[in-house]
Amino acid sequence: MDHRPQAWGRPRDDVYGAYDASYLNHSAPKTATQSPIVTGTSVIAIKFKDGVVMAADNLASYGSLARFTDVKRLRTFLSASVVGFGGDVSDMQFLDRHLNELAIDEAYEHETTASVSGPAPGQLNAANLHKYLSKLMYRRRNDFDPLWNQILVAGVDGAQQPFLASVDLRGTTFTSPSLATGFGAMLAQPIMRRYAATEEDAAKLTRDQAVDIVKECMKVLFYRDARSLDRYSIAVVTREGVELKEDEQLEKQSWAFAERIRGYGTQTV
Amino acid sequence: MFRNNYDNDSVTFSPQGRIFQVEYAAEAVKQGSVVVGIASKTHAVLVAIKRNAEELSSYQKKLFPIDEHTGIAIAGLTSDARVLSNFMKQQCLGHRLTYGRSMPVRSLVDMIGSKAQTNTQHYGKRPYGVGLLVAGVDEQGPHLFEFQPSGMTEEMMAFAIGARSQMARTYLEKNLDKFQDCTREELIRHGLRALKESLVQDRELTVDNTSVATVGTVKGEDGLAVVEPFKVFDGQDVVAWIESVADDKEEGAGAGEAQAGESMEVDS
Amino acid sequence: MAAMFSQNPLMNGPNYSFNDAPTVNAPEGARQHRFDPYTDNGGSTLAIAGADFTVMAGDTRLTSGYSINSRHHPKLFKIGGTTADQKDATLVLSVVGFAADGEALKERLDVICKMYRFRHGKPMSAKACAQRLSTILYQKRFFPYYAYAILGGLDEEGKGAVYSYDPVGSYEREQCRAGGAAASLIMPFLDNQVNFKNQYIPGSGEGHALQERERRPLAREEVEILVKDAFDGAVERHIEVGDGLQMMVITKDGIEEVFLPLKRD
């Protein structure tokens, strides 16, 4: 006789056999994004005097296959902010749809005078948007269903100052005068930090300088990152709004450095 | 004997197209003591008459902060107001948490509007027995909203609700043109004068029965607008304002201003 | 669990469904790829309580792996003010470990302090806030906030108070505490310099007869120098610490905040 209270009033295993609990096991592992599939590589951005420049190439890779070569990974939000996505492309597209909804809601709430383009007062600015995205990403990581992206958000904040911040799949957030995701953190960030080590340095950069720095970084990334492309998008965001160019070609490439690389190719010396 | 057959619940129209329960709820607002709100280009103020149930009891609070940029004045059932105010506080905190900004006042008012409206369309529910004046600032500047138990919300330049509030509204209508360019102090005094209009014959404003609250924007050092948080003033803090409107029978603000000027250090 | 109940002689077989339902093991060779919700973002924090003040400090570097994500990411947060800019706050929370959890923890505590103010019409005391922070952490005992928190403020008597926590909420009030990546480097230094551990009065005796140096509360200036020295030392020996030093001094007059440079290498 089993005297434990848990057993009271239940069929005895030794008489009826063990209870078949297999039906309780309907849970196959959750099929959330457990790892990224089609991916975008680096996004880079740097602050300057009146705003932020951001760039990302137009490639979506399937592993080592350059699968889609015309994928736009920068998007504008309410003509006031730019969001750049690295990592999983399907999650990026989900976020893109979600941000469209948010933008529509926000546009309803704060009616704009039709003639004026650019950000309307009272609408979500880049800092607000970044906060929202960070909550969204952190929530998804808490649910063990992460959106597999690292995101850069650029624009101006509530005090009308240039704003640039990052959020990743775990909801970690940070800001810096220049930011880069993925390989960019190793290859582009050191270059950008040469020009904008501090906020004060960044506040001295002109728009043209910032664009040049970013273009230079995109070139370095194309040279060294095997999952990159020479067609890219570049956005400049200021108080006046966003200028986004989505089909730029990398210019003035020089592969002269490659001749001096030894040990990877067919060379014998 | 006549009995109204159409006021048993808030989901039944009368043949005349009225919903009596909602109208009765609006009557509850008129039972509450009067509150006045005025908005200018830079500030929104709320002023209120507090009542005590008896000589020995304390005065019932009328003005409540919701968030640093918003507050409410209530007229009607205080307990219903508490439910609404808790809801509003939570919405504001939640909004601040997810977006890192203060909640736009119109969105906030729309939310309680919808909340109150559902009460008028579901069997077994009862409308809120309270009216609110919501004062707040956001990126668009100061706002004043009226909220009614029916779920109606409306932006106002100046308004009064509660017992005998028609007298106060008449005063506000008369002075409407002035409010836009009023300073914070002038707004408060206009508010208090409107309150006085609503008082019964032998009563007057005292430190015990008067509440004042302000919220607004001020120019910061960098020229950008900075929020001056919602703050409620009671007791000794309102003495100077009460005195400044004590003996001006005429509407002109002339005499009161100079007098109030030096004792206006209540702001913080 | 199953083994525990199988001790029953009658039960030489499968167990009851309500104890633990049998789990289907993944087929042989199937790879379970799991998302790791945590990272360590490095950094170090420090708090010292004085007679009528508390000094809190933290570096401002944010790392992941060998990368420096940001050189200016404050780890100290004012808690429980009435407004978003926390002008009238009286408490400071420092968090180090996983930055996203730290941020979430800070916001939870701040909202709770704000609700407390709504309900009670007064700010939360350091003691009450310390207890509440412990329960917040313990509520997530089985999916913890990976954050080492230190809460600083003044107690009811106006004395400096430092409360330190582990990630699941066990806490105690202390005179001083270092947390985070360089805690093991800074804490022994603090033991010696704040609590005068291993300091003896010269010539007071031999062996056990040696008299300990008498403890005395440190002056604010001394503490501030101590903090800077502690971090300069940590920066030298730990790669995840550096860039900037954020320091907050809590007194009865409010909270003063200063940023000092640290080595950026």
Q: What is the pLDDT of residues B18-32, one digit of tens each?
A: 999 999 999 999 999
Alpha-carbon distance of A247 to A71, in angstroms, equals: 10
* Residues of chain C contacting A171 with CB distance shorter than 8 Å: 100, 103-104
Q: Return the pLDDT at B201.
A: 84
Which ipTM did the prediction report?
0.85
Could you say which DSSP state residue C207 is in? G
Shortest distance, CA A127 to any CA of chain B (angstroms): 8
- Mean per-residue pLDDT, A7-13: 79
Q: Which of C4, C5, C11 is best to mutate for the A interface (most A CBs within 10 A)?
A: C11
Q: Return the pLDDT at A2.
A: 67
C44 touches C216 (CB < 8 A): no
Residue C161 pLDDT grade (very low, low, confident, very high; cuts 50, 70, 90):
very high
A114 in contact with C, Cβ within 8 Å: no
**Interchain contact, C99 vs A185, CB within 8 Å:** no
Q: Return the pLDDT at C12.
A: 46
Chains that touch A (3 or more CB pairs under 8 A): B, C
**Interchain contact, B68 vs C82, CB within 8 Å:** yes
* Residues of chain B contacting C110 with CB distance shorter than 8 Å: none
A9 in contact with C, Cβ within 8 Å: no
Picking from A110, A121, A128, the nearest residue to B99 by CB comes out as A128
Residue A1 pLDDT grade (very low, low, confident, very high; cuts 50, 70, 90):
low
> Residue A113 catalytic?
no
Residue C9 pLDDT grade (very low, low, confident, very high; cuts 50, 70, 90):
very low
Reported as a single tens digit per residue, the pLDDT across B34-80 is 999 999 999 999 999 999 988 899 999 999 999 999 999 999 999 99
* Residues of chain A contacting C25 with CB distance shorter than 8 Å: none
A6 in contact with C, Cβ within 8 Å: yes
**Interchain contact, C69 vs A174, CB within 8 Å:** yes
Reported as a single tens digit per residue, the pLDDT across C198-232 is 999 998 888 888 999 999 999 999 999 999 999 99
Picking from B93, B102, B229, the nearest residue to C111 by CB comes out as B93
Q: Name the residue of chain A whose CA is nearest to B99's CA.
A: A128
Nearest to B46 by CA among B166, B176, B215: B215
pLDDT higher at C10 or C233: C233
Picking from B89, B97, B229, the nearest residue to C107 by CB comes out as B97
- Mean per-residue pLDDT, A160-180: 97
Count the alpha carbons within 13 Å of B75 in the hemisphere toward its beta carbon. Answer: 30
Q: Return the pLDDT at A113.
A: 59
Residue A175 pLDDT grade (very low, low, confident, very high; cuts 50, 70, 90):
very high
Q: Is the pLDDT of residue B172 over 50?
A: yes
Alpha-carbon distance of C20 to C23, in angstroms, equals: 8
Q: Return the pLDDT at C13.
A: 45
Q: Return the pLDDT at C122.
A: 93
| DSSP reduced 3-state for C182 | coil
Alpha-carbon distance of B55 to A35, in angstroms, equals: 71
* Residues of chain A contacting C23 with CB distance shorter than 8 Å: 25
Q: Is the pLDDT of residue B263 over 70?
A: no
Count the alpha carbons within 13 Å of B28 in the hemisphere toward its beta carbon. Answer: 23
- Mean per-residue pLDDT, C22-51: 76
Residue B167 pLDDT grade (very low, low, confident, very high; cuts 50, 70, 90):
very high
- Mean per-residue pLDDT, C16-37: 54
Shortest distance, CA B106 to any CA of chain C (angstroms): 20
Q: Which of A31, A33, A41, A266 is catalytic?
A: A33
Q: Name the residue of chain A whose CA is nearest to C30's CA.
A: A29
Residue B258 pLDDT grade (very low, low, confident, very high; cuts 50, 70, 90):
very low
Reported as a single tens digit per residue, the pLDDT across C234-259 is 999 999 999 999 999 999 999 999 99
Residue A112 exposed, middle or buried by CB count within 10 Å (0-12, 13-18, 19+): middle
Shortest distance, CA C62 to any CA of chain A (angstroms): 8
Residue A112 pLDDT grade (very low, low, confident, very high; cuts 50, 70, 90):
low
Tokens of B212: 């004042």
Reported as a single tens digit per residue, the pLDDT across A56-98 is 999 999 999 999 999 999 999 999 999 999 999 999 999 999 9
Nearest to C100 by CA among C79, C75, C122: C75
**Interchain contact, C118 vs B229, CB within 8 Å:** no
* Residues of chain A contacting B107 with CB distance shorter than 8 Å: 109
Share of chain B above pLDDT 70, in %: 92
Reported as a single tens digit per residue, the pLDDT across A248-260 is 999 999 988 887 7
Tokens of B44: 């929104």
